[in-house]
Amino acid sequence: MGRGLFKQKNGLYAVDVTAACGVMTPAQLTGLARAAVDNNAFRIKLTTRQTVVVLLPEGNVSALEEALEPLELQVSPFGNVVRPVKACAGNSSLCPRSLGDALDLGVEIQARYLGRETPKDFKIAVAGCPRGCTDPYCADFGVIAAGNDRFRIAIGGMGGSNCPRHGEIIAENVPRDKVFTVLEHVLERFEVLAEPREKLGRAVERLGLTPFLPPAGLLSAEKAVLAADDEFVQFLQN
Nearer to another protein, 71 or 127 (CB): 127
Smallest distance, another protein to C-beta of residue 137, A: 12
Residues 6+ away with beta carbon under 8 Å from 73? 17, 18, 19, 24, 28, 32
* β-bridge mates for residue 54, sequence order: 15, 44
| Window 76-115: contact mask with another protein (x via CB under 8 A) | -------------------xxx-xx---------------
* β-bridge mates for residue 165, sequence order: 158
Smallest distance, another protein to C-beta of residue 209, A: 23
Near another protein by CB under 8 A: residue from 71, 129, 194, 204: 129
Look up residue 93 and give its amino acid: S
Nearer to another protein, 124 or 144 (CB): 144
DSSP for residue 20: B
CA dist 237 → 43, 226, 234 (Å): 56, 18, 5
Smallest distance, another protein to C-beta of residue 227, A: 6
- Write out the H or E segment, with its range, that includes residue 201: helix 200-207
Q: Say how far residue 174 (Cα) sits from the centre of its chain.
A: 17
Pick out residues in 136-165 that bind another protein (CB under 8 A): 147-148, 150
What is the rounded CA–CA span in Å between residue 55 and residue 59? Answer: 12
Nearer to another protein, 23 or 95 (CB): 95
Residues binding another protein: what is the number (CB under 8 A)?
20
Nearer to another protein, 3 or 131 (CB): 131
